[in-house]
Amino acid sequence: MIEPVIVVENLTRRFGDFVAVDHINFEVQAGEVVGYLGPNGSGKTTTIRMLLGLLKPSDGKATVLGYDVFKQSEEIRARVGYMSQKFAIYDDLTTLENLTFYGGVYGINDKARIQRTLELVGLKGHENTLTKDMSTGWRQRLSLGIALVHEPKLLFLDEPTSGVDPTARRAFWDLIYELAEGGVTILVTTHYMDEAEYCERVGVMRDGKLLALDTPTNLKKSIIIGDVWEVYTHPLERGVEILSAMPGVERVGLSGDHLRVISSQVKQDAMQSLLSRAGLRVEKIEKGEPTLEDVFLTLAR
Amino acid sequence: MTNYLVQANGIKKYFGKVHAVDGVDLNIKAGEIYGLVGSDGAGKTTTMRLLVGALLPDQGDVTICGYDLRKQTELARSTIGYLSQRFSMYEDLTVLENIRFFAEIRGLSSTEWLPRSMEILEFVGLDKFKDRRAGQLSGGMKQKLGLASALVTRPRLLLLDEPTTGVDPVTRQDFWQLVIKLVSTPHVDSPPVFGEHGRMSEEQGGVSVIISTPYMDEASRCHRVGFMREGKIIAEDTPSNLRARFNNRVLELRGSPINKLRHVAHQDEDVEDVAAFGDKLHVRVRAGKTDLIMKRLPEEIKSAGGTVTDLRVIPPALEDVFIALSESNHD
């Protein structure tokens, strides 16, 4: 039996009276791609910092790659990669120079390994490009390369594709899946549902608690109880007021030119007639698909 | 007679050999939320800068609220509010002082800006925090302050350049509720002259919003979306009409092992694209081949030693449309 890469038991961190992370439990297996979501201040970053051994837990325990986060934080840090949106790439250095520099920080001087990393992230042929001349998508690949140069077994990604378009995001995730196939475990924190949809399992945090951790499909099934309706009505503002007050309606959200209504009891006809009676114009009411954003908003409120 | 609030006709902007914006037409009505999407370098930001008057087009012209941006630059600009990706604020100043600063550089007197600021702070939900230093605000509140600062001159057109980068979904939802409220409320003081034939009536709607974004969940909230590629808008429609172009052509496939499924699907000649999404695949098929693929793909997977647990047609997402448009060979 292979041991899980991350084992977290009752992990807790207090700052004075404030409980930033409150008795969370989870496991992650080798080669898994796990997303970690939560509003600002929900305890996501505190959790990651504890897992990286940068912050001592107040209570509970956690092992990463078999090492205790309390006692063996240096062992952990030597074996994990970390890619942040705010990662510093030296603009006046080329791709190769950046990679060589950061490799040196990890004690990697093997030229072949640096070449391998360049190839892996698809930057071969661009060794001598100055990074300031590269697009956001390419800079992200370089950041990933920097996080991978010491061949970590576990990779933390913090909003890895923030600000890039779907095509570049797709290309980036193809790389991530390739790494996972090779046995690297990936933990992604993000605010973007576009990004979370790519993860095999997604955890949602709020107020220091881990509210759910499951596949996107299961989360949509278990958290969104009922149907999602897309209601095209005019004026929208009045529509929100009326439908929010309707018994049996769980949530109403504005979505550009229509409303998104979640309800397990209320059906199309009932909404239609209630809105019409109030003098609103109803263009159409369609059934929608639940999204991870619906899940997030349901859990976060 | 036109009733468009923003009109751009054949605008072009070249930087040396780079055709950053290469013939863009825009017609945006009052009360409309228009999303500008596209890859890095497609020309979104340059288009925004041309609309705000920070750059002059090499060709073509822009009219905002009836003012020619080239000839009546100041008048046109006075109708615009702009929230850039990294809006600047003074962290040591309070919320109200920040707004005052932005109001004064836009030439508003104190009798004008103070009542307006309070009204706008209430609108964005920051009225209780007016005396708090900007540096002490959360990310979401900072963003609302940015929006409030852009709104203090009561613009008719609000330009938002990737406004929700790095903001969590709850805050983003709040932000969008504000934007939608803004466009659905009639504008109080429209500019005195609008077009050739006098005033625009209040019924014609509220503020117009142009938003650039790389996020499809955000684009799907817009009334209309323009896809930019190589300096041109290659597709423009409502999100639902754009999605409808690929109706019946996107399949969801589940089974194991997922990598084998992916490789097999890729090799089928009638499959245009395969995308992995965690525990499932999205398969885009050639037009008219859906029934064929629904039969053939499970057989192909079976003979390759894989199993299919679910294969069904799903409604296309805006992301599927984006990828398809980015790959398509036009010209």
> Quick one: average pLDDT of A180-199?
89
Do A22 and A136 share a structural domain? Answer: yes
Q: What is the pTM of this model?
A: 0.81
Asked, for residue A231, whether it belongs to a domain, the answer is yes
d(CA B65, CA B216): 29
Nearest residue on chain A to B162, alpha-carbon basis: A163
Q: Select from A33, A40, A191 the Cβ nearest to the Cβ of B278.
A: A33
Helix (H) or strand (E) holding B18: strand B18-29
- Residue type for A261, please? V
d(CA B283, CA B287): 12
A193 contacts B166? CB cut-off 8 A: no
Single out the residue in A187, A214, A241 at which a domain terminates.
A214
d(CA A285, CA A230): 6
pLDDT score of B3: 76
Stretch among A157-161, A272-276, B183-187 having the lowest mean pLDDT: B183-187
> Quick one: average pLDDT of A227-243?
90
Do A21 and A107 share a structural domain? Answer: yes
d(CA B324, CA B280): 19
d(CA A27, CA A71): 19
- Return the closest-CA partner of residue A228 out of A272, A281, A264, A280: A264
d(CA B23, CA B233): 8
As for the ipTM of the complex, it is 0.71
> Which tokens belong to B136?
């002490």
Domain that holds residue A252: 224-291
- Phi, psi for B247 (deg, rounded to 5): -55, 140
Domain ranges of chain B: 4-238, 248-314
> Which tokens belong to B150?
């852009």
Domain CATH number, residue A26: 3.40.50.300
* Side-chain-side CA neighbours of residue B77 (13 Å): 14
Dihedral over Cα of A42, A45, A51, A55: its sign: negative
Asked, for residue A301, whether it belongs to a domain, the answer is no
d(CA B302, CA A6): 34
Tell whether A283 is within 8 A of chain B (Cβ). no
Do A246 and A161 share a structural domain? Answer: no
Nearest residue on chain B to A237, alpha-carbon basis: B181
Tell whether A254 is within 8 A of chain B (Cβ). yes
Do A209 and A89 share a structural domain? Answer: yes
d(CA A249, CA B295): 40
Give the minimum alpha-carbon distance from A71 to chain B in angstroms, rounded to a whole number.
33
Give the minimum alpha-carbon distance from B178 to chain A in angstroms, rounded to a whole number.
10
Do A36 and A131 share a structural domain? Answer: yes
Q: What is the pLDDT of residues A95-137, one digit of tens each?
A: 999 999 988 888 888 889 999 999 888 898 899 999 888 888 8
DSSP letters, B79-139, are: TEEEE-TT----TTSBHHHHHHHHHHHTT--HHHHHHHHHHHHHHHT-GGGTTSBGGGS-H
| A69, pLDDT greater than 60 | yes
pLDDT tens per residue across all 331 residues of chain B: 457 999 999 999 999 988 999 999 999 999 899 999 988 788 998 999 999 988 999 999 999 999 999 999 989 998 999 988 766 788 899 999 999 888 888 888 888 888 888 888 988 889 999 999 999 988 788 888 999 998 888 899 999 988 877 677 778 888 888 888 888 777 665 443 344 443 344 445 689 999 998 888 889 889 999 999 999 999 999 998 999 999 999 999 999 888 889 999 999 999 999 988 887 899 999 999 999 999 999 999 999 999 999 999 998 988 889 888 887 765 4
Give the minimum alpha-carbon distance from A72 to chain B in angstroms, rounded to a whole number.
31
pLDDT score of B205: 61
- Return the closest-CA partner of residue B250 out of B217, B278, B299, B290: B290
Asked, for residue A296, whether it belongs to a domain, the answer is no
Do A197 and A119 share a structural domain? Answer: yes
- Residue A245's Cβ-count burial label (10 Å; 0-12, 13-18, 19+) is exposed
- Say which residue the tokens 């837990």 belong to: A57
Q: Please report, rounded to a whole number, the percentage of residues in chain A having pLDDT higher than 70.
A: 98
* B126 in Cβ contact with B145 (< 8 Å): yes
Do A88 and A31 share a structural domain? Answer: yes
Nearest residue on chain B to A256, alpha-carbon basis: B221
Q: Select from A136, A191, A237 the Cβ nearest to the Cβ of B169.
A: A191
Nearest residue on chain B to A160, alpha-carbon basis: B166
Do A256 and A195 share a structural domain? Answer: no
Do A230 and A207 share a structural domain? Answer: no
* B199 in Cβ contact with B66 (< 8 Å): no
Residues in B closer than 8 angstroms to A135, CB to CB, are 40-41
Domain CATH number, residue A287: 3.30.70.100
pLDDT score of B194: 42
**Which class would CATH give B248-314?**
alpha beta
Asked, for residue A262, whether it belongs to a domain, the answer is yes
Pick the CATH number of B4-238 from 3.90.1150.10, 3.40.640.10, 1.20.950.20, 3.40.50.300: 3.40.50.300
- Return the closest-CA partner of residue B50 out of B79, B24, B78: B24
Interface of A with B in 82-141 (CB under 8 A): 85, 135-137
Domains contained in chain A, number: 2
- Residue B263's Cβ-count burial label (10 Å; 0-12, 13-18, 19+) is middle
Asked, for residue A300, whether it belongs to a domain, the answer is no
pLDDT score of A132: 86
| A43, pLDDT greater than 70 | yes
- Mapped onto helix, strand or coil, the DSSP state of residue B190 is coil
B169 contacts A297? CB cut-off 8 A: yes
B259 contacts A215? CB cut-off 8 A: no
d(CA B285, CA B294): 10
DSSP letters, A16-58, are: TTEEEEEEEEEEE-TT-EEEEE--TTSSHHHHHHHHTTSS--S
The model's confidence at residue A165, banded by pLDDT at 50, 70 and 90, is: confident
Do A242 and A115 share a structural domain? Answer: no
